[in-house]
A and B are shown apart, each in its own frame.
Chain A
Amino acid sequence: MNVPDAAARPDRRIALMKPIGAVDERITHALQLMESVVWAFHGTTHATWRMGPLESADVLVFHEGNTDERIAQWKSQGRPIVEIAVQSRLDSDTPNLLVYPFRAAQVLVLLDRLETQLTGTFEALTPAGSMMSSASAHQDPWSFVEGLRDLRSVQNSEAWLVGRGSARTPILWLRGDAATYTAEPVTVQAIRRGALNPNSLSLEKGLAPTGGQAPRSGMELSWFTGYHASDRLAPALTISTSYRISSWPNFGLIRPLPSQLRVAAGLSSAAADLSAIIKRAGVTAEEATRTLNALYACGVLIGVSPAEAGGAVSTNARQRAGLAKLLASVRKHLGLGARS
């Protein structure tokens, strides 16, 4: 990892809001773990992070269920927050969620993402105006995807971000709530194919697009940048957590591969972890991983507890065999993608 010299690193403060009164002891452990990891990573991240009082903090860390009114106040100002939970709950309203027990590497990625957020997206959407892209963003394959998730949580539909390529030419216009974007067809195709690295774009606050290109769904941008970001799970996902989808992405626009369709269908039927969805959908580990990443990028993936993961309607083996044969025949007849 390329980390700037100590002198060039900005100083950042984290306010850790500790629980008042008796709470689940996992919450206490989670907050202690967070404090220890921040201390252990001192000097290895793109900013120098220390714990500090709320008044001088850049980031507020709190645990789920904490009703302190200062949290709402902090959120309403659009300032970065980190929520620590003891159960997986990947809703789009909480872009920086750490689920205990979390890995130290997750905190490392999160700290660098927060730094990007502090120097980039957040400021880009404030009157000061600045860049979303930074040195760390270039190296983190998730910085653009996480930026989109942050924008969705900020919900600023009045602002526009302009993405410039290496020649500083504007090639992408993204609305401040990430609900729509505009680009030339060649850029759209490059995004869909994964031929354009969105992390290399510098995004600056700018004017709304004036060209004749029709606005496109931000979900399309999220899906393809999430799908192509990495063949490893997004840092916020774990192989042992069971996931389901809260809603389907618009596959009419995405034109999914058969493997993507089967993973989505599998996760709409019942929650599954990575290995279960590979088996259920009959896809490769890479196809399942990338599709989970794309669903995460779209904000429709929800982590569930093992108790919630079941819920199937029981059928007998004969019915299932008959149905499997019928589905294969219908697919063959219509020329649809068969199971691998």
Chain B
Amino acid sequence: MSDREIKIVFTGPMGAGKTTAIRAISDAPPVSTEVANTDQATFAKPTTTVALDYGQLLLEDGTAVSLYGTPGQQRFSFMWEILCRGAIGVVLLLDGSTATARQELQSYAEAFRRIDPNQPFVIGIGRVPPGDCLLDECARALGSRGIVAPVFGVDVRQREDVLLLIETLLCVLEAHMLEASHAAH
């Protein structure tokens, strides 16, 4: 790897659980730039991230893997590209109980594919009612746009669910790497 920063980006709309997901795996409590949420009409929670969340995995060999959470509001979308540039992967989190989940999936997926079409990308959808076909619909919608990305139902309050997303990201990254290795020979 080069000397550039190694990072994984968590993105998604407000209230999808980005801060919670980073907190679940970060070695130290994440640094959050949270303020009182003045947009209660969109999502009723007391605070929201306005710039970014930052967590870190400090590996045995001293390598630091940065965990960034993008701000959820659309008006900060200019930061997505800045944060995602050079990331080893992106975790998109969505709230499946909202009516806008399908639309958000589409706009986020397209935005991140534009930034880097080869960047590993996994999607975790929370609060999906049992028996709901949202996940299948989302996977099919992505497939129709030529995007074969993992779409999993998760609860990011559970560390193992966040680990599943990270492990999937690593497996996709590894598969890209091995395929590239095969192509090179």
Bound-state CA distance A315–B142 (Å) is 26
CA distance A332 to B168 in the complex (A): 15
Question: Are A313 and B180 in contact, CB atoms less than 8 angstroms apart?
Answer: yes
Which stretch from B12-20, B59-67, B76-84, B102-110 is at the chain A interface?
Answer: B59-67
Is the Cβ of A329 less than 8 Å from the Cβ of B63? yes
Contacts of B176 in A (CB 8 A): 269, 312-313
**Which chain B residues border A322 with CB–CB below 8 Å?**
1-2
Looking at the complex, which one of B57, B136, B150 makes contact with A330 (CB distance below 8 Å)?
Answer: B57
Shortest Cβ gap from B135 to chain A (Å):
5
Would B143 and A332 count as touching, CB distance under 8 A? no
**Minimum Cβ distance to chain B for residue A214 (Å):** 4
A261 within 8 A of B: yes
A255–B175 CA distance with the chains assembled, in angstroms: 20
B161 at the interface (CB under 8 A from A): yes
B163 within 8 A of A: yes
Contact A330 B131 (CB under 8 A): no
Cβ distance B173 to chain A, nearest Cβ, rounded Å: 7
**Interfacial residues of chain B within 149-164, with CB under 8 A of chain A in the complex:** 149-154, 161, 163-164
**Would you give the shortest CB distance from B158 to chain A, in whole angstroms?**
10
B170 and A331 contact, CB distance less than 8 A? yes
- Which chain A positions have C-beta within 8 A of B131? 180, 214-217
* Cβ contact within 8 Å between B180 and A252: no
Could you say which residues of chain A place their CB within 8 Å of the CB of B1? Answer: 319, 322-323, 325-326
By a CB distance below 8 angstroms, the chain B residues around A255 are 164
Asked if B166 is an interface residue, CB under 8 A from chain A, the answer is yes
Give the docked Cα–Cα distance between A314 and B6 (Å). 20
A250 CB contact (under 8 Å) in B152, B170, B174:
B152
Q: Complex formed: what's the CA distance from A245 to B133 in Å?
A: 19
The answer to whether B130 touches A251 (Cβ under 8 A) is no
For the complex, is A268 an interface residue (Cβ under 8 Å from B)?
A: yes
Highest count of chain B CB atoms <10 Å: which of A244, A253, A316, A333: A333
Q: Are A312 and B135 in contact (CB under 8 A)?
A: no
The size bracket of the interface on B is 35 or more
A329 touches B170 (CB 8 A): no
> Given that A251-B168, A269-B172, A280-B182 are known contacts, is A313 also in contact with B118, CB under 8 Å in the complex?
yes
Complex Cα–Cα for A98 and B142 (A): 28
| B183 touches A (CB below 8 Å) | yes
- Whether A215 contacts B184 by the Cβ 8 Å rule is no
A-B CB pair tally, cutoff 8 Å: 155
> A326 to B63, Cβ gap below 8 A?
yes
A-side contacts of B168, CB under 8 Å: 251, 261, 265
Chain A residues numbered 193-236 whose CB sits less than 8 Å from any CB in chain B:
214-217, 219
Cβ A312 vs Cβ B59 within 8 A? no
A10 at the interface (CB under 8 A from B): no
Q: Specify which chain B residues have a CB less than 8 angstroms from the CB of A270 in the assembled complex.
A: 175, 179
Which of A245, A314, A337 meets B184, CB within 8 Å?
A314
In the complex, chain B residues whose CB is within 8 Å of the CB of A219:
136
Interchain CA distance A63-B2 in the complex, whole Å: 53
Does B124 sit within 8 A of A, measured CB to CB?
Answer: yes
Which residues of chain A have C-beta atoms less than 8 A from B25's C-beta? 334
Answer whether residue B40 sits at the interface, using C-beta atoms and an 8 A cutoff.
no
Report A169-188 CB contacts with B as 1/0, cut-off 8 Å.
00000000001100000000
For B118, the closest partner residue in chain A by CB is A313
Decide: A251 near B150, CB < 8 A? Known: A329-B61, A336-B166.
yes
- Given known pairs A215-B130, A247-B143, the reply for A268 and B175 (CB within 8 Å) is yes
Q: Does B31 contact A (CB under 8 A)?
A: no
Pairwise interchain contact B60-A329, C-beta atoms closer than 8 A: yes
Q: List 15 A-B contacts (CB under 8 A).
A: A217-B131, A248-B152, A252-B152, A252-B164, A262-B171, A264-B150, A269-B176, A270-B179, A281-B175, A316-B184, A323-B177, A325-B1, A326-B1, A329-B60, A336-B170
Q: Across the A-B interface, give the 7 residue pairs with the lowest CB-CB distance, nearest first.
A: A215-B131, A252-B152, A322-B1, A265-B171, A247-B139, A269-B175, A252-B153
18 additional contacts, CB 8 Å, given A265-B168, A336-B170? A179-B136, A217-B131, A247-B142, A247-B151, A250-B152, A255-B164, A268-B148, A268-B150, A312-B179, A314-B184, A315-B181, A317-B181, A319-B2, A326-B1, A327-B174, A333-B60, A334-B167, A337-B167
